Amino acid sequence: MDKLLKILEELRPEVDFETETKLIDGGILDSFDMVSLIGEINDVFQIDIDFEDIEPENFNSTHGMYALICRLQKEV
């Protein structure tokens, strides 16, 4: 979780990722952010997030992202 938060904060230092729950729906993370973020997460966590995983429920909050990461790690 900490690794994830570090990635997010580096990407967008002005956002409070611990409490924000509308990162996608509120347009806080745009498509560039998403691509950079997914690239980083794939590298750091050694998983393969595909574009079909880009759903609001997976990326609206850090918890959603973490759950996705855990799920994909299990599958690998």
Partner 1 sequence: MTVNSLSFLIFFSIMVLIYYLPAVRKYQWVVLLIASYLFYMAAGIKSVIYILAATVTTYFTARSAGKLCEEKRGFLQQENNQACDVKAYKEQNKKRRNRVVLCEVIINIGILVMVKYMNFFIDNLNLVADKISPLHLNNVSLIVPLGISYYTLQSIGYVIDVSKGKAAWEKNFFKTALFITYFPQITQGPIGRFKHLSKQLFASREFSYHNLSYGCQRLLWGFFKKTVIADRIKPLTDTIFLNYHEYSGFTILLGLMYFSIQVYADFSGYMDIIGGCSDILGIRVAENFKRPFFSKSLAEYWRRWHITLGEWFRDYLFYPLSLSKKATSFGRKGRKILPVRIAKLLPSVYALSIVWFATGFWHDASWRYILWGVCNGMIIISSTCFEDDYKRLKKVFHIKDESKAWQVFCMCRTFLLVSLLKVFSAAVSTVDSLQMIKKIITGLSPRLTYALCFPEMKKSHLVYILFGLCIFFVISYLQEKHEVRDLLSKKPFIVRWLLYSILLFSILSFGVLTTDMPGGFEYAQY
Asked if 42 is part of the footprint of partner 1 (rule: CB under 8 A), the reply reads yes
Listed ranges 1-9, 16-24, 43-51, 58-66: which one lies at the site for partner 1 (CB under 8 A): 43-51
Asked if 13 is part of the footprint of partner 1 (rule: CB under 8 A), the reply reads no
Asked if 31 is part of the footprint of partner 1 (rule: CB under 8 A), the reply reads yes
CA pair distance 2, 7, nearest whole angstrom? 9
Q: What sign does the dihedral 42-76-50-4 (CA atoms) show?
A: negative
| 2, 3, 13 from 49: Cα distances, Å | 19, 16, 23
Asked if 58 is part of the footprint of partner 1 (rule: CB under 8 A), the reply reads no
| Sites of contact with partner 1 (CB under 8 A) | 27, 30-32, 34-36, 38-40, 42, 49-52, 54-55
